[in-house]
Structure 1
Amino acid sequence: MTIGTPEIALLCLLAILLLVGAVTDWQRRSIDNWLTATVALMAPLYWWAANLGLWPDIAIQVAVASIIFAIGIGLFAMGAMGGGDVKLLGGLALWFPGLVMMRLVIVMSIIGGILTIFMLVRHKLMKIEGPLEIPYGIAISLAGMWAIYERNLNHFG
């Protein structure tokens, strides 16, 4: 599989946006709307650069993203996930086909579990008052960067 310059440029921009999302979520426990919107709105440019067909490629990605976003809304309603996390994950789902997204969610869950343990230990050691807040945007972003690498740059696996 060869990828062209526009596709590489868009993937690099996505990686930068994911990094910004991870940093802001760590610092403020918030992911800005402009960032999540940019991730989602850049996906059609990526589809064009990657020469994806409207049917079934793009249709499947939109369907998978819609399902992931709907599940995320449910998690948000239960207080299990932040709104920025849901929007970032939904926007990110527009970039990858279903199987890659399933792997991304598994990697995200593993990273999220490790992050949760780290934050719990940090919360106890630093005697931080109030509820434990997990900046899950970090797990989403790292899993997204893993998916970019694994799908497009790792030609040996």
Structure 2
Amino acid sequence: MSGSIVASLSVLGFASLRDIATRTVPNWTAAALSLIGLAARVSDGTLLQAILASATVFLAAMFCWRRGWLGGGDVKLLGGTAMVVPPFAIPTLISYVALVGGVMAVFYLAARGLVPQAHKAPPQSILGRVLRAECWRIRRKGPLPYACAIAIGATLVFYRLGVS
């Protein structure tokens, strides 16, 4: 597996965990993905196509943000992720992200009635606190951690391209 893919998946993994825990995606994650993608696209000679495709994805995601369908961090993360995958694979990336996001949405909708009320004493571990917060968000129809859908979509693209 190439270093750029390992670095990209590491950044996406961090962004996903952060999104689950706090529903924020740090700006540096999108910037890091853009830089990793820039280096990868220079090496394979598709820099111009990648910049145009990534800008198109970013603008389309901004439209979704304006409609309230995506968060601002997700828009930036998706634009950065579009630089990491080869330009010809961007439609596949968008398809996978939408599919995974849809599955997550169905799961969250189904879980609303199943998630128990929180206990009075807060958990001591960080994982326990994150799970408690996630249950609270699900019960109150909070936003999805869409960075997870973006990360899984990118992972599936790399897998489909035969990167192992």
2:148 match = 138
Confirm or deny that 1:52 pairs with 2:44: yes
- Which string of whole-angstrom CA distances, capped at 9 and with x for unpartnered residues, describes residues 91-147 of structure 1? 011122333110111111111111001111223322755333111111100011111
Sequence identity (%): 23
2:83 match = 94
Distance 1:120 1:24 in 2: 22
Q: Bigger radius of gyration, 1 or 2?
A: 2
- Decide whether the 8 Å contact of 1:108 with 1:143 is kept in 2: yes
Confirm or deny that 1:121 pairs with 2:131: no
Superposed displacement of residue 149, structure 1: 2.2
CA RMSD of aligned residues (A): 1.8
1:69 match = 58
Q: Secondary structure at the match of 2:24?
A: coil
- Decide whether the 8 Å contact of 2:93 with 2:157 is kept in 1: yes
Match of 1:40 among 11, 34, 40: 34
1:153 match = 163
1:18 match = 12
Q: Flag as ranges the 4+ runs of structure 1 deviating above 6 A.
A: none
Unaligned runs of 5+ in 2: 118-135
Confirm or deny that 1:85 pairs with 2:74: yes
Unaligned runs of 5+ in 1: 1-6
- Decide whether the 8 Å contact of 2:33 with 2:80 is kept in 1: yes
Distance 1:29 1:44 in 2: 27
1:4 match = none
Distance 2:38 2:53 in 1: 15
The alignment of Structure 1 onto Structure 2 pairs a total of residues equal to 143
Superposed displacement of residue 152, structure 1: 4.3
Distance 1:114 1:45 in 2: 33
1:110 match = 99
TM-score (normalised: structure 1): 0.82
